[in-house]
Amino acid sequence: MVYVRQEKLPNLKEYKYSGIDHSLLSRYVLKPFYTNFVIECFPMWMAPNLITLSGFSFIILNILTLLWYTPTLDQDCPRWVYFSWAIGLFLYQTFDAVDGSQARRTHQSGPLGELFDHGVDALNTSLEVLVFAASQNFGMGWKTVLTLFGSLLTFYVQTWDEYHTKTLTLGIVSGPVEGIVILTLVYAFTGVMGGGSFWQQSMLRTVGIPQFAFIPDLIYDMPFTEWWMVQGGAVLVLNTVQSSLNVIKARRARGDKSRGALLGLVPFFTTWTLIPAYLYLNPDILHNHLVPFVVFAGLVNAYSVGQMITAHLVKLDFPYYNILVVPLAYGVFDSLGPFLQSHIGIGWPSALGDGGYQVAYMFSMLGMAIGVYGSFVVDVIVTICDYLDIWCLTIKHPWNEEEEAKKAK
């Protein structure tokens, strides 16, 4: 399948990165650390995309330790596992931030870097949900699903915002900066306290706040995990509203209607109508096979995000269609028949049932997602590299200051 037509490729040469970071933590702490110290650790011959991919390898290591020590996401791990998750995520954030500096100092900045960087971030979003769920002993259940929803919506909305405004905007509090730092501290603290079971106790009681008469038992007994949900939900709403306002403002400044842009949120919420429906209708998947399903859902979102980034780079229409939703929709339809039959007496038989065939179908959806997203990534990267005469993970044309000066003369 061709994802980028040849006649659209000249738009790549008009690409210019535009980003605004309002984070005080980034401005006064992280960026000075990256630009004054970390960047010097990388040789000039190392391609920026190779740095990005190297950082992602730390996340893969975190997932492997998770699958070994707590595959059900609800078991306490050895302390060193949590510390390794903190270190791995910190290194991922560091490598992910430094690749831009490396691109500028090696004069390798370009549209491929943004596509590669965002693509890796999209994959990490769902994988990090699994690590966080394991650090909180969420287990396979709705708390993990809600966390996945919030994380994927945040990333989708941020990319949707960038598509319409042509600028990547990070607020005073954002997922790529403060969010990752908070997660790193949470993992480290979990290691200090000896395991994720620490977060299952009442937060107010643990920190020593007495139960005043005006505090209901329901609130006073809320564990840390549920307070995380409240805090995450508030930040999610604020970021979504802010991004929507950014898009409306940018569209109106260009004389375009904002309603068309807001329709770009429909694909995400359509997918997330099907995901909880499928899990509700198939509790075996929810409670026994949620880890591979989370990876599937993450790939569905990564494909949508990748299409948006590609459309932004080569100036295509907004991508509303995601082929990976089709098998998910069929899974819901197939499971809905027996459910309706048992509740209202009218339905249709299931072709998959609720046993091994349903599990096999879920893994088939995962396999399809890997194939479709993998073919998309390879095709777009190869197309861009061929057109711009560059390589993806190595520097094909090293910067030579003397030669460039001669060309300028």
Task: Give the pLDDT of residue 5.
Answer: 84
Does the annotation count 22 as an active-site position? no
Residues 257, 261: Cα–Cα separation, whole Å: 8
Task: Give the pLDDT of residue 120.
Answer: 94
First vs last C-alpha separation in the chain: 44
Question: Which single residue is written with the structure tokens 């790193």?
Answer: 184
Residues 101, 39: Cα–Cα separation, whole Å: 7
> Residue 322 is which amino acid?
N
pLDDT category of residue 57 using cuts at 50, 70 and 90: very high
> Which tens digit of pLDDT belongs to each residue from 134-169?
999 999 999 999 999 999 999 999 999 999 988 888
Q: Please report, rounded to a whole number, the percentage of residues in the chain having pLDDT higher than 90.
A: 62
| C-alpha distances in Å from residue 295, one per residue of 64, 144, 219 | 14, 12, 33
Q: DSSP state, 289?
A: S
> Which tens digit of pLDDT belongs to each residue from 95-140?
999 988 898 888 888 899 889 999 999 999 999 999 999 999 999 9
Structural contact between residues 169 and 17, judged by C-beta atoms closer than 8 angstroms: no
Residue 73 backbone phi and psi in degrees, to 5 = 65, 20
Tally of CB atoms within 10 A around 192: 10
Residues 218, 210: Cα–Cα separation, whole Å: 14
Lowest mean pLDDT among 23-37, 41-55, 61-75, 365-379: 23-37
> Which tens digit of pLDDT belongs to each residue from 279-320?
999 999 999 999 999 999 999 999 999 999 999 999 999 999
pLDDT category of residue 1 using cuts at 50, 70 and 90: low
Task: Give the pLDDT of residue 407.
Answer: 58
Q: Is the pLDDT of residue 385 over 80?
A: yes
Residue 223 backbone phi and psi in degrees, to 5 = -75, 170
Q: Is the pLDDT of residue 408 over 60?
A: no
Q: Please report, rounded to a whole number, the percentage of residues in the chain having pLDDT higher than 70.
A: 97
Task: Give the pLDDT of residue 292.
Answer: 97
Task: Give the pLDDT of residue 409.
Answer: 55
Lowest mean pLDDT among 11-25, 174-188, 364-378: 11-25
Task: Give the pLDDT of residue 177.
Answer: 84
Residues 114, 170: Cα–Cα separation, whole Å: 15
pLDDT category of residue 185 using cuts at 50, 70 and 90: very high
Tally of CB atoms within 10 A around 217: 8
Q: Is the pLDDT of residue 401 over 80?
A: no
What average pLDDT does the structure give for the chain?
A: 90
Question: Which single residue is written with the structure tokens 């059900």?
Answer: 72
> Which tens digit of pLDDT belongs to each residue from 226-236?
998 888 888 88
Residue 180 backbone phi and psi in degrees, to 5 = -70, -40
Residue 149 backbone phi and psi in degrees, to 5 = -60, -50
Task: Give the pLDDT of residue 231.
Answer: 85
Question: Which single residue is written with the structure tokens 């995901």?
Answer: 275
Backbone CA torsion sign across 246, 250, 253, 258: negative
Residues 399, 378: Cα–Cα separation, whole Å: 26
Tally of CB atoms within 10 A around 311: 17
Average of pLDDT values for 2-22?
84
Average of pLDDT values for 338-353?
90
Helix, strand, or coil here: 21? strand
Task: Give the pLDDT of residue 73.
Answer: 94
- Nearest by Cα to 101 from 21, 177, 56, 42: 42
> Residue 273 is which amino acid?
T
- Nearest by Cα to 357 from 383, 331, 318, 321: 331
Task: Give the pLDDT of residue 186.
Answer: 94
Task: Give the pLDDT of residue 402.
Answer: 61
Q: Is the pLDDT of residue 403 over 70?
A: no
Domains of the chain in sequence order: 13-266+289-318 (1.20.120.1760)
Task: Give the pLDDT of residue 19.
Answer: 81
Task: Tell me the range of 10-19, 143-152, 348-357, 390-399 where mean pLDDT is highest.
Answer: 143-152
Q: How far is CA 254 from the centre of its chain?
A: 30
Of the listed 118, 164, 287, 312, which one is catalytic?
118
Residues 270, 304: Cα–Cα separation, whole Å: 12
Residue 318 backbone phi and psi in degrees, to 5 = -60, 130
Backbone CA torsion sign across 204, 230, 279, 363: negative
Task: Give the pLDDT of residue 119.
Answer: 92
